[in-house]
Structure 1
């Protein structure tokens, strides 16, 4: 797995490089700002770009914006965003294109080598990975739930989908069959008016609808 890393702190950047190498990744470039990230992605065309949200010069959302721009220039590049804090708008912006292959993790999670490896594999394969704390806080920040058509069990399934779980993982968590999970997901997509389309990934669009309105 070829990785481009963007982190403005040199010490943290070097530490992440070592951690990623332990996880079996090949870090082809490690940079310190958003513009350098875009250049590195265009040059190396990595499997995944790992990006700190807050980077120079304003330390607001330069990293996220650079990741979105890099993804536009090199489509299908997976993106794993790291953040010190849960920031709702950043998670929503990351998911906005509906194409999958994205993740949002809190920095204190990346020290867990198994969790980091799993997150990378999932985003590179086109999945969506959200830190459970990110999901929980996004839900807590919402004032109302317009997804009234969903049953309690369908909400459980969609919540686990938002955490990036596979159908088999959802089935194990809810102690049901994979067939039951597939039926719930089909019902969720129908109730959310997400019909088959060549332009949109319906599962990701359902997760995005949940994060925006759930």
Structure 2
């Protein structure tokens, strides 16, 4: 249900602080969570947001995919809230970016990881169905129909949309070689860190 991930993330962040207090810094880690327009409107999310801000959970980074579209309508049909101001009032650090720009996402995450006192909300302003086009090549972005079904059933063309985005319809989920090499490097680094931590436990 909407809001569940939000509250579970706050609970996980509280649990991390407990583990660090009980067992030491080797248990330290950061909680990342991803929320939507619908989820952030839920009352259960409001309570979780207030608690996280009050406790100063600086180990929590929440990315809000703010595309202004819900399952059946635009968000402007049900809310006029200023989400950034609301979270700032609760004690969060808020960073607003273009959520369709990978470089802005990277910079925001680096900035968020430097925060030492507050939970962080990254508001990524995005376009629902970015790059989607119809069979006729017309834009099919910002459509509620693309929220909860495959784009080919929502009214857009899967093949033409993939081509419009610079991809190959025959292999739409390809992993670029440089991405694979990058994550292989990260995996090796994580294994080394885990080995050091295990050795410290034995000592």
Mark yes or no: TM-score above 0.5: no
> Scaled by the length of structure 2, what TM-score is found?
0.35
Computing the radius of gyration from Cα coordinates, the structure with the larger value is 2
